[in-house]
Amino acid sequence: MKFSDGLKLASRDLGRRKLRTFLTALAIAVGTMLIVTLVSLGTSGENLILSKFENNASLKKVTVAPMKYFDDQNTDFSEFDMNSMYKKIDNNLVKKLSDISGVTDVKATITSPIGSIKIDNYESKDATKIVGLYNNNSIFSNDSIQSIRKDNNDNNLNPIIEGRNLNSSDKNSVLVGKNYLNNMGIKDYKSVIGKDITIIQNKTENPNITLTPLQVKAKIVGVINDKFETKDVLVTSMDTVDKVKSYYSFQENYIDNNGYDSVDLYTDNMNNISNISNSVKNMDYYSASYQNIIEQIKGSFKVIKVILAVLGLIVLFVAAVGTINTMVMVIYERTKSIGIMKSIGANRSNIHGIFLMQSGIIGFIGGIMGLIFSTININIIQLALRIFLQSKNIKETINFVMPSWLILGSLLFSILISIIAGIYPSIKASKMNPVDALNS
């Protein structure tokens, strides 16, 4: 028997019981719809989160912390002693880190909170931090500059809009942000270049200890563009932040004794991140990167998508039981037809093939219906979500997608499940005795 002949027979028999065929396929469709809809929602959520990192300069950065290496995935933090894990980051280590293959820039930083600052008759008592970098390096990486330019669609944006950046020879020098000046009441940001700024520190690590406030005078050498400005942070030369941090921590020469708070290692290729992280690990220092976070996000979403898919599979397997029931009923209805086919020369494989084709057709119809239902569901969910976000004045848009691999895989799986469900009935039909079948 030709395949086309068997397919015609199978289709004709299902067509005689259209309602029953439709209801059996509908059960398959519901399972397929759940799998496609739920997994599509999970995939869309993953894409939305990962897209936020896509153009982020931090993707090419590894941050080294002043602590010994530990496996954060397999560490029992209930017994974790942070004090015993401390490991100083000094100038020698910074130089070693800068020699790692793939590292294009190194930024070792130290920060300290301050009480207030004064410029002329203006004073700010808002919560402020000062930050200093190893060798007075620029706080702005090339990637971060390019990223901000791209976000603002302006290739002419520069981090410093007046004055200059810090250099290695600067002593008691400060960069202050345009917005920070504006909040202090200084509208003419150009006027502050060369002026004295007084950094007043009246805070210490121990809030119960009060000392005479420390006043450190410095010169403003540059103003930071508000597009590049980090909120409530002033950039100072290393000697300035060292004085303030020493007062804050009750330790003289803080940087020499305690080192830097952290080191950021930059690369021009994300593929270097793994090698850089391993090199830091070999130095017995703990490091973190957005690449690690992204891998964790992907891992979490894999688990979520598997759970969502299992929910659909449960329904699909229940639908398979309905397919078995339908096929058994078809066999009982067609007992005489089976006897006639056998009496004119049809063998077991022919009978077996016809009923497997019927099962596959039911699965195909159910799969197509499921994909149609999924498309409708996703469009309804997307429309409802868009209306909700607009009602909350949220401009964020979420585009739900049905991956091609999911569409094809779900259709093939629904057909496969139906064929598997039809194996028992088809075997039962192929084993019928033609004489008994004709006399039934």
| 163, pLDDT greater than 80 | yes
Question: Which of 285, 313, 335 is the last residue before a domain boundary?
Answer: 285
Q: What is the pTM (predicted TM-score) of this model?
A: 0.59
Separation of alpha carbons 104 and 108, rounded Å: 14
Phi, psi dihedrals of residue 314, rounded to the nearest 5°: -60, -45
Asked whether residue 309 falls in the same domain as residue 197, the answer is no
Structure tokens at 21: 């065929």
**Lowest mean pLDDT, pick from 40-49, 95-104, 219-228, 362-371:** 40-49
- Name which residue leads in pLDDT, 374 or 19: 374
For residue 341, being part of any structural domain is answered with: yes
Single out the residue in 285, 305, 332 at which a domain terminates. 285
Residue 200 — φ and ψ, nearest 5°?
Answer: -105, 120
Say what the pLDDT of residue 187 is. Answer: 93
> Where in the sequence is the domain holding 401, given as residue range(s)?
3-54+296-438
CA 9 centroid distance within chain: 51
Q: Write down the pLDDT at residue 382.
A: 86
- The verdict on residue 290 lying in a domain is no
In this structure, are residues 126 and 107 in contact, taking their beta carbons and an 8 Å threshold?
A: no
Tell me how far apart the alpha carbons of residues 108 and 258 are, in angstroms, rounded to a whole number: 13
Tell me the C-alpha distance between 270 and 111, whole Å: 27
182 occurs within a structural domain: yes
Does a structural domain hold residue 102?
A: yes
How many domains in the chain?
2
pLDDT for the residue 309: 76
Q: Please give the distance of CA 66 from its chain centroid, rounded to a whole number.
A: 26
Higher pLDDT, 421 or 173: 173
C-alpha span between 250 and 205 (Å, rounded) = 8
Confidence class for position 13, pLDDT limits 50, 70, 90: low
Locate 424 and state its tokens.
């028992």
According to DSSP, the β-strands at 122-124 and 160-163 are: unpaired
pLDDT score, position 301 = 80
Q: What is the mean pLDDT of residues 133-155?
A: 86
Residues 427 and 311 reside in one and the same domain: yes
Q: Is 47 found in the same domain as 174?
A: no
Same-domain status, 240 and 318: no
Domain boundary among 257, 285, 313: 285
Phi–psi pair at 64, nearest 5 degrees = -100, 130
Classify residue 115 by its DSSP letter: S
Q: Do 180 and 71 lie in a common domain?
A: yes
> Is 348 part of any domain?
yes
Same domain? 139 vs 119: yes
The yes-or-no verdict on residue 105 having pLDDT over 80 is yes
Helix (H, G, I), strand (E, B) or coil at 423: helix
Winning range, highest mean pLDDT, from 152-156, 180-184, 380-384: 180-184
7 or 205: whose pLDDT is higher? Answer: 205
Region 115-133 average pLDDT: 91
State pLDDT tens for residues 255-265.
Answer: 999 999 999 99
Kindly report which listed range (49-58, 289-298, 378-387) carries the lowest average pLDDT score: 49-58
The answer as to whether 61 is a domain residue is no
Cα–Cα distance list, 108 to 224, 253, 263 (Å): 20, 17, 4
Distance CA 302, CA 137 (A): 41
- 339-382 tens-digit pLDDT: 777 777 777 777 778 778 888 888 899 899 999 999 998 889 88
> Within this chain, do residues 37 and 127 fall inside the same structural domain, yes or no?
no
d(CA 141, CA 61): 10
Are residues 266 and 303 located together in one domain of the fold?
no
64 forms beta bridges with 263, 287
| Mean pLDDT score across all residues of the chain | 84
Tell me which H or E stretch contains 333: helix 290-333
Q: Are residues 236 and 267 located together in one domain of the fold?
A: yes
| 338 and 279 in a common domain | no
Q: Which residue, among 235, 140, 119, 125, has the nearest Cα to 188 in the 3D structure?
A: 119
Strands 233-236 vs 128-133: parallel, antiparallel or unpaired: parallel
Q: What is the pLDDT of residues 394-428, one digit of tens each?
A: 766 677 888 888 889 889 988 888 888 888 777 77
Please report which confidence band the pLDDT of residue 7 belongs to, taking 50, 70 and 90 as the band edges: low
The answer for residues whose C-beta is within 8 angstroms of residue 416's C-beta and 6 or more apart is 363
C-alpha to C-alpha distance for 377 and 29, rounded to whole angstroms: 13
Instruction: Tell me, yes or no, whether 251 and 300 share the same domain.
Output: no
Residue 291 counted as domain residue: no
- Of 410, 400, 327, nearest to 371 by C-alpha is 410
In a domain, 325, yes or no: yes
Do 256 and 385 fall within a single domain?
Answer: no
